[in-house]
Chains A and B, each alone.
Chain A
Amino acid sequence: DAGITQSPRHKVTETGTPVTLRCHQTENHRYMYWYRQDPGHGLRLIHYSYGVKDTDKGEVSDGYSVSRSKTEDFLLTLESATSSQTSVYFCAISELGLRERAYEQYFGPGTRLTVT
């Protein structure tokens, strides 16, 4: 299995509080991604990174920010959590980028976030 860990694995927080999720990889892959998974919507891309300090938005980026100060860590921050952000969040990594024609993504175990 690819060396990807996510922390925390479970979190319950209140509406309006800031939340940071961490993704850590030991594969030295260049590309990292954050997805959310909700019933009826499948996995949707939130943000991704193509290098240290290089990030871009996905299809559902509103309400989320990311940072990548080191190759191995990719942080996802909910500035002010809302109930609509209750979801399972997956981090993924890949060596080839999304702009390449062929690539494989490896996913972490997920973080279950509940906003009350």
Chain B
Amino acid sequence: RKEVEQDPGPFNVPEGATVAFNCTYSNSASQSFFWYRQDCRKEPKLLMSVYSSGNEDGRFTAQLNRASQYISLLIRDSKLSDSATYLCVVIPGSGNTGKLIFGQGTTLQVKP
């Protein structure tokens, strides 16, 4: 089983739609979780951290489900500029050893 798994998509949605991505992780001791965004031929950039209580940043909501070992990202009112690849990132184990494990990424295409 891969350490971090994502559905690669692509997800094709119209502007204004709500879309959700899930990501599963295999190491139950993992403590830190993030969503990164990567535009075509660019470097990944942090979109948001994922906290145990869930967190929201504007149109973006991230949730953590430890029991089922998955994290989710919800995007409301999709914009054309949201088109990108969304990477799920996990720091496995307890403490921060600096080892970030990336999922394959989920590609989102928002259409006019």
B partners with A: no
Residues in chain A within 8 A of chain B (CB atoms): none
